[in-house]
A and B are shown apart, each in its own frame.
Chain A
Amino acid sequence: MNTIAVSETDAEAPPKRRGWSPTRVWGTILLVPYVLVFLFFVVYPVCYGFWLARDPQSYVQLFEDPIFVRSIFNTLVFLLIGVNLKMMVALLLSGFFLHDRIWIRWLSLIFILPWAVPSIPTILSVRFMLNPEWGVINQLIFRFTAEDGPNWLNDPTLGLTFSILVHIWKSLPFWTLILLSGRLAISKDLYEAASVDGASSVQQFRFVTWPSMKTLYVTCTVLSMIWTLGDFNSVYLLTGGGPADLTHVLATLGIRYLRLDQVNLSMAAIVTALPLVLPLVYFMMKRLSK
């Protein structure tokens, strides 16, 4: 009885928002640890970074550096070809993993491995496969043709291609999984109705799957672009930015300048990526912070 009476009075007068109620005090205290982390390790570094990048001369120097111009180009190739290829394959594969077979269930467990294991051992493994003298690929080429295979990573185009492939290898499982969960959320009734109407599987995809998945697909693509911009490992561990610094992307170029003790250039290189990053971030913030 007593408790019910109390709750009724509470319902009439909702918990006070003004003054320092225990709820407000504790809420504030519990928020402090993250706010401190944010201030010390995000706000301060970002402001300091902008301050380091304040000299207009840095940008002049940057655009005069052919390596920088090349790395902008590489970054765009990475984003346009790499991300779209990855997302399209992920969308198609998510349809494959939808099939209910025991072997497909086993395959899906194996398929997730690239995402679950750390990049460095597997990327180094790929790097060694491509080694011109001892790599398994050229060993096989030699065995069948008795001729030496190409020096794969010594060619900037091939180096960039393999970096993109490594990136796709690593992140494809994650996006396939996300798109698969999107596909599982589509009502079975829609497909049944479509097949009653005699829709082929291509038509089912076109008129049922795609309209239901479009929003998710676009969101995933944008998020994937942001993460791809921050992917240092695929390029650095496979080609090291070489040959002749021709396969750098912005993520590795910033670190390269840092290693050369050109911190201002390093920060300026990152700042030049902002026109690309900010619209993507804005899109994601709008999507997620509703």
Chain B
Amino acid sequence: MKRFSLAGIAGEAKLLLIGIPVLIWTMLPIYHLFLFAISPRDAAFSGNVWPEEPTLRNFEIVLNQDHYFLIHFWQQLANSLIVAIATGVLTLLVATFAAFAISRLKVEGGRTVMNLALFTYFIPAAFLAVPMYRTMGLYGLLNSKWALILAMVTVASPYAIWVLKQASDKLPYELDEAAVVDGASPMQLFWMVYLPLMKPSLVAVGTYALLLAWNEYLYAFLLLSRDTDITLPVALGNFLAADDSPWELLMTTGLIYALPPAAIYYAFKRYMVSGLTAGAVKS
């Protein structure tokens, strides 16, 4: 009843007045990307909202590496994947160990490490990139995937430790005590009690690190340079340098590159939103 009253309709209209601009604002660049990807080369520049003859030809060209800009497409996609997975796994290992030691084992100096990690989290990413680039050079890691993986682990783990510590502080200590009474060593406690209980947070943190590494542009662009070593975003960035960039192919590649993180985000949304927003800002 209330729904169809005059005031109800006016209220709904007011909401739509906000909702429609929000939808347009959000979708404009993404829709534009998509429009280019399904348009034949000439039609893409016409300014139409929908191509007269939508085509998957661009995808075919990209996936078959049929353009000299794209001869390493699959290799670069694989590089992105390798870096993202390695970063996810390593970050999880490093951060889970640290959070467990700090939160459950109450190791001496744990607080200090925690604060140092938080401090790292607050160094603006682009500011750490410059000295990091030089240091990777000194370590002889430049142009190796390891440089990027380690850099991403460094950037991702402070936040990961922070979120995991917040979550593990909430687990009841009685569990640990009961396990210790039953004769569990700290490592058994870790594997058999701690990890199973932390699963939702581990999924959130692992996904966070994975997406961070997959989406990273600056560090990848600084640390890798050979065409066969670079990740997909760097390859996309390199298109920009050319005068005759095939924009429709650039957009298609961009769309292919943007799909996995969006899909992963929606698949793990439940974990991501609760795990990450809870850890992000403690009010």
Residues on A lying within 8 angstroms of B by beta carbon are 3, 6-7, 10, 22-24, 26-28, 30-31, 33-35, 37-38, 40-42, 44-46, 48-49, 52, 93, 96, 99, 101, 103-104, 107, 109-114, 116-126, 128-129, 134, 136, 139-140, 143, 169, 173, 177-178, 181-182, 185, 215-216, 219-220, 223, 226-227, 229-233, 236-237, 240, 250-252, 254-255, 258, 263, 266-267, 270, 273, 277, 280-281, 284-285, 287-289
Min CB–CB distance B71 → chain A (angstroms): 20
User: 6 additional contacts, CB 8 Å, given A38-B116, A285-B115?
Assistant: A27-B110, A111-B26, A169-B29, A233-B218, A250-B127, A263-B130
Tell me the nearest residue of chain B to A240, going by C-beta: B240
A119 lies within 8 A of B117 (CB)? no
- Known contacts being A31-B101, A254-B130, is A284 close to B122, with CB within 8 Å? yes
Interface residues of B in 117-157 (CB under 8 A from A): 117-120, 122-135, 138-139, 150-151, 153-154, 157
- Known contacts being A27-B106, A41-B151, is A281 close to B119, with CB within 8 Å? yes
**Measured between alpha carbons, how far is A124 from B110 in the docked complex, in Å?**
43
A33 lies within 8 A of B94 (CB)? yes
Residues of A within 8 Å of B127, CB to CB, are 229-230, 250-251, 254, 270, 273, 277
A229 lies within 8 A of B27 (CB)? no
Q: Does B199 contact A (CB under 8 A)?
A: no
B101 lies within 8 A of A3 (CB)? no
A288 lies within 8 A of B282 (CB)? yes
- Known contacts being A125-B36, A255-B126, is A48 close to B135, with CB within 8 Å? yes
**Measured between alpha carbons, how far is A93 from B76 in the docked complex, in Å?**
38
Min CB–CB distance B187 → chain A (angstroms): 6
Nearest 10 A/B pairs, CB to CB = A230-B124, A121-B254, A27-B107, A139-B47, A49-B131, A251-B126, A27-B105, A45-B131, A118-B215, A26-B186
Min CB–CB distance B43 → chain A (angstroms): 12
Interface residues of B in 1-36 (CB under 8 A from A): 12, 15, 18-19, 22-23, 25-30, 32-33, 36
Min CB–CB distance A129 → chain B (angstroms): 6
Residues of A within 8 Å of B54, CB to CB, are none
Residues of B within 8 Å of A231, CB to CB, are 126
Tell me the nearest residue of chain B to A223, going by C-beta: B281
Min CB–CB distance A54 → chain B (angstroms): 13
B150 lies within 8 A of A216 (CB)? no
**Measured between alpha carbons, how far is A201 from B267 in the docked complex, in Å?**
36
Residues on B lying within 8 angstroms of A by beta carbon are 12, 15, 18-19, 22-23, 25-30, 32-33, 36, 45-47, 93-95, 97-98, 100-102, 105-110, 113-120, 122-135, 138-139, 150-151, 153-154, 157, 161-162, 177, 181-182, 185-187, 190, 211, 214-215, 217-218, 222, 233, 236-237, 239-240, 247, 250-251, 253-255, 257-258, 261-262, 265-266, 273, 277-278, 280-283
- Known contacts being A34-B98, A41-B135, A96-B22, is A122 close to B124, with CB within 8 Å? no
